[in-house]
Chains A and B, each alone.
Chain A
Amino acid sequence: MKSICLYNEAHQWHVFGRDSKKVKGIVDTNQYMIQSGNRCLLMDPGGIEVFASMLTAILHHVSLDEITDLFASHQDPDIISSLGLWEQALPHARLHTPRIWEGFIRHFGSTKIKYMPIPDEGDILDLNGLKLQFIPAHYLHASGNFHVYDAKAKILMSGDVGAALDHPDAPMFVEDFEAHINKMKMFHQRWMPSNRAKQDWIKRARGLEVEILAPQHGSLFKGEHVQHFLDWFEALEVGTAVA
């Protein structure tokens, strides 16, 4: 599994992905980690299939007792089906997840991890003095859904928003935005159910200073491509499975 440091100041952001050992046929995912002193937040830690590679990759950066918090943007298996495996190593950790999904996520075989339900309006997590915002992104695509914004690093971890179904060795950052549209258009039209929800999120995102938009699948958007994405997504008709 590849790992890239996205931000390296008083605290660090890492992205993990492009797992070469991934089982054929499963969607490639990006996992994120913020390290703030001796506390770490693992975001959308991924499915069962990437767990071993992910844990191996993480051990190059931090020890297990430093991972104090987990975040699941929503309940999908590619987001958090590894929970039952993680909790063997992190029984002390807390899981921040949309309020409505707790009872569903427990199906992934966890009994020890403490659930920290995020209220619908969002919340702030203090990670060793670093203030991280849980930004509501409901119905994008899950009915309870949050993104993580770090105002200091100017990074917005955007879950399935901005996701592209790309080949496993796709570049970590979008290089040609126009060419990238093809890889994300169908995904957004089909997976995102609500134009109203989309507009609400666009408004929130435009209110944030974002240097990197970090989706859970495919390449990340940096600099001007963040604005390109917001403009493109704003104009896109979603929920297209229903005529």
Chain B
Amino acid sequence: MKKNTTAQETILITAGTVTAELNGVNEIAKDMTLGVMNAKTISHRAGESAKGFRPITDYIEQVARDVSQAVVRISQDVSVLSRLAVSYHRYGKILKTYQCVQQEAGQAEHASSLPPVIENLERQAKEDRNRFLQNLEGLIFQLNEMKNSIRSSKVISTVSRVEAASSQAFRQSLEVVADDLEISTEKIRERVMRCNQQLTTVMAQIQREGVA
């Protein structure tokens, strides 16, 4: 990021990146749903020997659904965040313009009519900043939740492997299911981490900058 980019500008860029990452997450969730349908067919064919595998496919299905729903919610919050960033950016710029005028118009006969306007703008900028930070915190929290919810997938894929081992005929196919689950959740985790990292950076920048 350029050194002189303001937090408001950074968040507009970040919002775009986060949206792209979330779209990627959604695609992975879709693939998981397709994969699980396949796994269900295999475990059905495997009959009794793959009975223990069914709760696992149900679980994967649930994870994919939860991830998709979370992506929808988080994406909405990201677009709210972008709107807040635009407003925050706008008031910050207006405030700066008025502060310049105050410096320039120092000697003017009616310069005393400026301070109330500037105080008002400062209040507005502060309110915008707080709203913006609140939204950002909420977003980071939701991303963390998502990361936690897929953490148990690691355990589940290990269980899958144990179950796969007990089904001699379909062992290989069921192991593929376990592998896919592990790969998918790892990819999601990576993307979510990247989102989180970017948003945390913006948050730190805003806190460093203080009011616009």
Interfacial residues, chain A to chain B (CB-CB below 8 A): 51-53, 55-56, 58-65, 84-85, 88-89, 109
Contacts and interface: CB of A to CB of B under 8 A. Distances in A.
Contact of B114 (A60, A64, A84): A64
Size class of B's contact patch? 10 to 19
B113 interface: yes
Interface stretch (B40-48, B94-102, B191-199): B94-102
A86 to B, nearest CB: 10
> Residue among A59, A62, A89, A109 with the most chain B CB within 10 A?
A59
Given A88-B98, A88-B120, A88-B121, A60 B109 contact: yes
B114 A59 contact: yes
Given A85-B97, A88-B121, A52 B104 contact: yes
B105 A59 contact: yes
A61 B100 contact: no
Interface of B: 90, 94, 97-98, 100-101, 104-105, 108-114, 117, 120-121
A111 to B, nearest CB: 11
Contacts of B104: 52-53, 56
Given A51-B97, A61-B109, 20 more contacts: A52-B97, A52-B100, A53-B104, A55-B105, A56-B101, A56-B104, A56-B105, A58-B110, A60-B105, A62-B110, A63-B113, A64-B113, A64-B117, A84-B94, A85-B94, A88-B94, A88-B117, A89-B98, A89-B113, A109-B90
B105 to A, nearest CB: 4
A85 B121 CA distance: 11
Contacts of B105: 55-56, 59-60
A88 B101 CA distance: 13
A56 B101 CA distance: 6
The 7 closest A-B pairs by CB, nearest first: A59-B108, A63-B110, A64-B113, A63-B113, A56-B105, A56-B104, A59-B110
A89 B94 CA distance: 11
Most-contacted residue by chain B among A51, A52, A62 (CB, 10 A): A52
Nearest to B104: A56
B87 to A, nearest CB: 10
A65 to B, nearest CB: 7
A55 B111 CA distance: 10
A63 B112 contact: yes
Nearest to B117: A89
Greatest chain B CB density within 10 A among A84, A85, A109 is at A85
B112 to A, nearest CB: 7
Contacts of B100: 52
Contacts of A85: 94, 97
Contacts of B113: 59, 63-65, 89
18 contacts: A51-B97, A52-B97, A52-B100, A52-B104, A56-B105, A56-B108, A59-B109, A59-B114, A61-B109, A63-B112, A64-B117, A84-B94, A85-B94, A88-B98, A88-B120, A88-B121, A89-B98, A89-B117
